[in-house]
Structure 1
Amino acid sequence: MRFKPVPEPPAERTVLATIQRALPATAGDVDDCCRLLLAETALETRDEAATWLTFLRALELATEEPAGFRRRDAGSGSALDSDRLRRAFRARVDGADAVLGVLERADGPLTADEVAEAIRSERRQSGDRDRRPTRSVETQRERIERLLEWAALLELAEQERDGYRIAPARE
């Protein structure tokens, strides 16, 4: 399953841990997880909290059960394990793999506009443009900018003065 909502990336990855810790450990402990996130974090609106809940699910940091949301623990490892977060981001966040694929094929840093154009071009060439409703160019660029910022925060990409490039492979 791929998830579409992508919140504005925080300045530091520790914010991700703070928001995840604000979720209950057991589903059903809280009737309204959005209200809980608003009370326990710096999030300001219900829409923002709802976006974060979905994004935490995409990163496999939260789960939705019939009784409600709960934070997802990693068992013996850390829930914020970098490799696990990177894999989940790329595999489960809609558009992340396409953005990272464009960066991997690039010879140098690319701006969000250049990444967006490359993705549009690839979709036109594959005949995939009718698969989903067309987003406005500006909306698509903003989403790609957020994806690039998250990729940099998760160390999948590096932000440079001229744009973004894929991060060197990890050992």
Structure 2
Amino acid sequence: MRYKVAPPTRSLDFLRDARAAIPLVPDDEADCCRAIQRATDVADRETAREYLTFLRALGLVAESERGYHRTRTEPDRSALATAFREHVFAAAELLDALDNDGPLTEAEAFERVRDAVPRWERERQTGWEDVWRTRVGHLLGWAEVFGLATQTSEGYERR
């Protein structure tokens, strides 16, 4: 399963803090979002929900019938990089574009992954391009955090 969420880029320490806030015993989404807000500087519930879903995509949090819970997986940079590529929508396409065409600016990167945006996503909202440009910017930032890319004066390139 691939998750399309790409919250604003933060550090590995932030991911560790957000993950640690989630209980080992399953809890509901609202309580987990509040826990992320209390443990970090995330101000609003919607953004906390994005981070909760992102943690799930990275394998740091799981969902059961009873709610969300922290996994026993420690946030190892290499494992996170693999999970990012495999489970976050458009990450693989973006990294492939950097492999083939890098370095790329954020605008160029968006153009390379534009065709991967599902049709229903394009038709769902009138400003889909702005949403996806922002999402691609976040994906580039996360690729850098996970050691998959680096930003240079010419744009992002694969590391």
Q: Same fold (TM over 0.5)?
A: yes
Structure 1: how far apart are the matches of 2:86 and 2:99? 16
Distance 2:90 2:38 in 1: 31
Structure 2 vs 1, CA of residues 35 and 129 (structure 1 numbering), >3 Å: closer, same or farther?
Answer: closer
Q: Which has the higher helix share?
A: 2
2 CA distance for matches of 1:129 and 1:101? 15
CA contact (8 A) 1:99 1:119 kept: yes
Q: 2:50 matched to 1:51?
A: yes
> What value does the CA root-mean-square deviation take over the aligned residues?
1.9
Give the structure 1 partner of residue 65 of structure 2.
Answer: 66
* Structure 2, gaps ≥5 residues long: none
Larger radius of gyration: 1
Question: Hey, what does 1:158 align to over in structure 2?
Answer: 150
Q: Aligned pair in 2 of structure 1 residues 133, 88: CA closer, same or farther (>3 Å)?
A: same
Query: Can you give the 5+ residue segments of structure 1 that lack an aligned partner in the other structure?
Result: none
| TM-superposition CA deviations, 1:113-155 (whole Å, max 9, x none) | 10111223xx3xxxx7764331632222111010000000100
Q: 1:118 to 1:68 in 2, by over 3 A?
A: same
**Matched AA of 1:95:** A
Compared with structure 1, are the counterparts of its residues 31 and 130 closer, same or farther at alpha carbon in structure 2 (3 Å cutoff)? closer
Paired with 1:14 and 1:34, the residues of 2 have a C-alpha distance of 18
> What is the CA–CA distance in structure 1 between the aligned matches of 2:46 and 2:40, rounded to whole Å?
14
What SS is found at the alignment partner of 2:151? strand
Instruction: Return closer, same or farther for 1:145/1:71 CA change in 2, 3 Å cut-off.
Output: same
